[in-house]
């Protein structure tokens, strides 16, 4: 999936922790008709507004009427990365829908595969603990190195660790992992 589309219609859910939400950054021209754009007056628009073309209204001083300019737009994924920035954004309304769905799916899941996550993000760890692990649900961690994390130590009896990379686990091995009995 290239961008967040809020479609979770299947039983299998894949999340990229610190994942992305595509959005457009619209940049206004520095002056009418200019080919240079300024980030100072940029506007951020989420992709899910279902708008394919953007126009910005401005007052043309010469004509004394409103005209529409086509702003320069950048379409890029918005990542929750960087310690200080990321923690601040966990409570940003822009991400509420994504985190709400993540929490709900954790609560309704009966098995969780975690691939290549180092368990160093306090915010994500709180989601995993408060909406999944405290209910004594099993977690399968696939990583080339066992993460050194208090969360892993605290819930060690619920976690099955596979010391391979994502491509190191064959389909047959994956199917065996799916069949592991649920720990109670």
pTM: 0.58
How far is residue 113's CA from residue 35's CA, in Å, rounded to a whole number? 48
How far is residue 101's CA from residue 104's CA, in Å, rounded to a whole number? 5
Per-residue pLDDT of 80-117, as tens digits, reads 544 545 556 666 676 777 788 888 889 988 889 888 88
3-state SS track over 159-179: EEEECCCHHHCCHHHHHHHHC
**What percent of the chain has pLDDT above 90?**
17
Domain ranges of the chain: 21-79, 92-178
The token pair that represents 99 in the structure block = 């985190």
**In this predicted structure, what is the pLDDT of residue 184?**
44
Most confidently predicted of 10-19, 57-66, 175-184: 57-66
How far is residue 138's CA from residue 155's CA, in Å, rounded to a whole number? 9
How far apart, in Å, are the Cα atoms of 145 and each of 36, 141, 164? 48, 10, 8
**In this predicted structure, what is the pLDDT of residue 159?**
93
Q: Are 122 and 87 in contact, with CB atoms under 8 Å apart?
A: yes
Which DSSP symbol is given to 10?
S
**In this predicted structure, what is the pLDDT of residue 180?**
64
User: Which H/E stretch holds residue 64?
Assistant: none
How far is residue 26's CA from residue 76's CA, in Å, rounded to a whole number? 11
Write down the mean pLDDT value for the chain.
75
Per-residue pLDDT of 23-75, as tens digits, reads 667 776 666 665 666 666 667 666 555 566 777 777 888 889 888 877 766 65
Per-residue pLDDT of 122-171, as tens digits, reads 888 998 999 999 999 999 999 988 889 999 999 999 999 999 887 888 88
């Amino acid at each position: 999936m290239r961008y967040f589309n809020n479609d979770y219609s299947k039983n299998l859910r894949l999340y990229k922790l610190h994942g992305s939400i595509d959005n457009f950054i619209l940049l206004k021209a520095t002056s009418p008709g200019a080919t240079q754009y300024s980030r100072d007056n940029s506007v951020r628009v989420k992709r899910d507004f279902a708008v394919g073309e953007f126009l910005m209204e401005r007052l043309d001083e010469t004509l004394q009427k409103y005209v529409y300019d086509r702003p320069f737009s950048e379409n890029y994924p918005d990542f929750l990365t960087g310690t200080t920035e990321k923690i601040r954004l966990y409570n940003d309304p822009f991400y509420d829908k994504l985190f709400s769905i993540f929490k709900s799916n954790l609560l309704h899941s009966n098995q969780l595969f975690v691939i290549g996550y180092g368990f160093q993000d306090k915010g994500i760890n709180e989601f995993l603990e408060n909406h999944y692990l405290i209910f004594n649900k099993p977690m399968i961690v696939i990583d080339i190195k066992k993460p050194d994390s208090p969360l892993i130590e605290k819930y060690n009896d619920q976690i099955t660790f596979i010391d391979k990379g994502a491509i190191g686990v064959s389909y047959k091995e994956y199917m065996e992992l799916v069949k592991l009995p649920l720990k109670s």
